[in-house]
A and B are shown apart, each in its own frame.
Chain A
Amino acid sequence: MAIRILVGVKRAIDYAVKVQVKTDKTGVVTEGVKHSMNPFDEIAVEEAIRLKEKKVAQEIIAVSCGPTQCQETLRTALALGADRAIHVEINGKDYETLQPLAISKLIAAVAKKESVDLVLLGKQAIDDDCNQTGQMVAGLLSWPQALFASKVDIKDKKAEVMREIDGGSETIRVKLPAVITTDLRLNQPRFANLPSIQKAKKKPMAKMSPSDLGVDIKPHQEYLSYEEPPKRQGGGRVSSVDELISKLKEKGLV
């Protein structure tokens, strides 16, 4: 029986943009800055489409939480091959203070509502680097999790996943329904072609709010300030070993 997949996509500042911290330290500059789909989510979408092409999956639902602009990100997912999209609309201050736990609750609620067999997410978003959502979704649903996937094989309602770990890689087998998060080496996302970009405009996109899903998105953490990391100090050149030793002694390192 072909499975149904829910893919989470996040609209984040484009990976090639040089991020600037606001002068009042309340956040980073997002106005007029290029935003795109989080690269790890692109990999998740690509994996979902490949599973559909292999006839392992029969339906791909893309979901994104945020303001109206998220619909653009969802349209990209549709252009790549997702069947329909769900936009959980969150605006203004609520969006600014939206945190992984709230997002996890929303995704878990959608996963239950849509009765999906697999939740595919990027391992982390390149803006906050939290690396928490996949783990928490699995926890909330009490589903097994296979994270940092670099290879995914699905057969007979089981997923065999090779994971990137510190020592190299390990392969685990989990029963579906499960949560899988993608890592860089899983696949190379495709380019969206024009006919699909056009077709995507007609694919269904449902809108809902956190209250529709019965989720309280109240933040539990307060961000106090945002600062740039300290500027890298240039190194110095020494002309001899003796000079090196005296410089190290000066700095109290030897």
Chain B
Amino acid sequence: MWSKCVRRFSTSPLTRVRHPKLRRSPHYATLTDRDISFFERLLPDGRAITNPDDCLPYNIDWIKTCQGQSQLVLKPKTVDEIQAILRYCHEHQLAVCPQGGNTGLAGGSVPVFDEIVLSLRSLNSIGAFDENSGVLIADAGCILQTLDVHVNQFGHTMPFDLGAKGSCLIGGNVATNAGGIRVVRYGSLRSAVLGLEIVLADGTLLDCLTSLRKDNTGVDLKQAFIGSEGILGLITRVALACPTAMSGVGLGLFSCSSFEKILSTMRLARKLCGETLSAIEFLDASTYNLSLKNLQQTNKPVEPNNFYILVETMSSTYEQAKATLDKLANTALEKEFITDGTLAQDLKQYKDLWAIRERVPEALVADGYVFKYDFSLPPARMYKLVEETQKRMKPFSNVRNVTGFGHLGDQNLHLNITVQNGYSDEIKHALEPWLYEWVAKERGSISAEHGLGLHKSKYLELNKGKQSLELMKQMKNIFDPKCILNPYKVLPYKID
């Protein structure tokens, strides 16, 4: 029964079928019965999973773009167990795919071939929270939302927020240097990570878990691991600086006729909302309409137009958060930057308006197969890329929507193309490498926050250049000379 349901949901063919040029490296051993017995003894109570149907959800990514064929999923509960697993895999040259909440969008969280899945889900105790420094210590397998609720009790909040908060794990968030909707206010996750505990590829423990705001002693090793997507080491514990929670919030959704007006509204928001500004997001008409359709929202929040901008304010009182937002709304209307808007009158409207933006990924998946791109671009050029992609996709009758939306305040565009009847090689080749070359020419980033994973690793040199790439490979060699951690991803390299 369960297997039937899961098979129906797995609409992606195997990664090795979709990427025939990718070959499983002979460098890695194949799992033997002896290996399986070892793991079953190490992780009793069903935490070494070999049943193919039970392994399936760990083999497919959230947006159904890749499917691996791992035959073994491990769920360690302690750091000792993780060390023992990696020691064994290192000795026997078994490839490992570390996995958090499996909510990644670049195909980096699931096996490509038969790598062993090392799920951090069960390593989930919440450590101490220091009220004087606002520092939280937590295991890598804690769910972001659970941690947020935990620090809320002390009047603090997590230093980042994203739509996947109910499913993503903090270890994965740090391994991918997650972005999200509050970078405008809290900055990048890097600045909030004060310490990490890491298990290296050979099972040794690297203890960089200090909870100090300031510690200028030597080379800051932990920075290498943040955003390294599991290729340098496995993060097992994090120390995070959590800002104080603001009790007052305000949210406005505004509609504009052109992208230039969106940018004018954004600049005005920065000026008028000042220190209360906490999020700036934009959506184009197709994204907005798809999202409303998916939410089955019959009440239109604003008069339809070509673009929509969401501005959030936060302050220690509601009055303050409301005052700056009101000022923005009135001025923007007067200056005719916006044609309509609405301000959340209560917390339910606040949630409903945010849902229009936060649940866009679901709406896209419901619309068809999603080609997902995540770029950093100069704001003035951002929407040009969407328009050119729309032109380029015109000859394809199975393209449903070309949508542009994203973290306007961070110059981050999410460009998504939805296709009916599933994945298409033709469309893929029309989009890549054209899109990446376009972005590289603008000196933008080929992946602002989603990381490289499996899908984008081959374009890394386009973005960073030969010399940087060489140094990255050397670093990989220092930390994981046997190359067992998350192979085939992030760095475009051949395993000899």
**Do A and B truly interact?**
yes
Give me the interface of A with B, judged by CB distance under 8 Å: 14-17, 32, 34, 36-37, 39, 76, 188-195, 197-198
Q: Report how many A-B pairs have Cβ atoms within 8 Å.
A: 61
Residue among B254, B345, B350, B351 with the highest chain A CB neighbour number at 10 A: B345
Contact between B348 and A15, CB atoms less than 8 A apart: yes
**A34 vs B347: C-alpha distance when bound (angstroms):** 8
Whether B60 is near chain A, meaning CB under 8 Å from some CB there, is no
Contact between A194 and B341, CB atoms less than 8 A apart: yes
Whether B3 is near chain A, meaning CB under 8 Å from some CB there, is no
Whether B172 is near chain A, meaning CB under 8 Å from some CB there, is no
Contact between B340 and A194, CB atoms less than 8 A apart: yes
Whether B247 is near chain A, meaning CB under 8 Å from some CB there, is yes
Could you give 19 example pairs across A and B, Cβ below 8 Å? Answer: A16-B347, A16-B351, A17-B347, A34-B347, A36-B346, A188-B298, A188-B299, A191-B302, A191-B342, A192-B342, A193-B302, A193-B303, A193-B340, A194-B340, A195-B333, A195-B340, A197-B329, A197-B343, A198-B330
Contact between A194 and B329, CB atoms less than 8 A apart: yes
**A51 vs B299: C-alpha distance when bound (angstroms):** 17
Contact between A191 and B349, CB atoms less than 8 A apart: yes
Contact between B247 and A32, CB atoms less than 8 A apart: yes
Identity of the chain A residue whose Cβ is nearest the Cβ of B317 in the assembled complex: A32
Query: Within B353-394, which residues are at the interface with A (CB < 8 Å)?
Result: 353
Contact between B301 and A191, CB atoms less than 8 A apart: yes
Contact between A76 and B345, CB atoms less than 8 A apart: yes
Contact between B317 and A194, CB atoms less than 8 A apart: no
Contact between A15 and B343, CB atoms less than 8 A apart: no
Majority secondary structure of chain A interface residues (helix, strand, loop or mixed) = loop
Cβ of A98 to closest chain B Cβ, rounded Å: 22
**A197 vs B328: C-alpha distance when bound (angstroms):** 13
Identity of the chain A residue whose Cβ is nearest the Cβ of B248 in the assembled complex: A34
Identity of the chain A residue whose Cβ is nearest the Cβ of B322 in the assembled complex: A72
Contact between B342 and A194, CB atoms less than 8 A apart: yes
Partner of B347, one of A36, A191, A197: A36
Cβ of B448 to closest chain A Cβ, rounded Å: 31
Residues in B neighbouring A192, C-beta threshold 8 A: 342-343, 345
Cβ of B27 to closest chain A Cβ, rounded Å: 47
**A188 vs B300: C-alpha distance when bound (angstroms):** 11
Partner of A191, one of B248, B299, B329: B299
Residues in B neighbouring A37, C-beta threshold 8 A: 345-346
Cβ of B321 to closest chain A Cβ, rounded Å: 10
Identity of the chain B residue whose Cβ is nearest the Cβ of A12 in the assembled complex: B346
**A188 vs B343: C-alpha distance when bound (angstroms):** 17
**9 closest residue pairs by CB, A with B:** A36-B346, A16-B347, A194-B341, A191-B342, A191-B301, A14-B347, A14-B346, A76-B345, A193-B342
Whether B338 is near chain A, meaning CB under 8 Å from some CB there, is yes
**A190 vs B340: C-alpha distance when bound (angstroms):** 14
Contact between B345 and A194, CB atoms less than 8 A apart: no
**A15 vs B300: C-alpha distance when bound (angstroms):** 22
Residues in B neighbouring A190, C-beta threshold 8 A: 299
Identity of the chain A residue whose Cβ is nearest the Cβ of B352 in the assembled complex: A191
Whether B38 is near chain A, meaning CB under 8 Å from some CB there, is no
Residues in B neighbouring A76, C-beta threshold 8 A: 345
Residues in B neighbouring A15, C-beta threshold 8 A: 346-348
Cβ of B429 to closest chain A Cβ, rounded Å: 43
Cβ of B169 to closest chain A Cβ, rounded Å: 25
**A39 vs B352: C-alpha distance when bound (angstroms):** 14
Query: Within B260-310, which residues are at the interface with A (CB < 8 Å)?
Result: 298-303
**A68 vs B343: C-alpha distance when bound (angstroms):** 21
Cβ of A16 to closest chain B Cβ, rounded Å: 3
Residues in B neighbouring A197, C-beta threshold 8 A: 329, 343
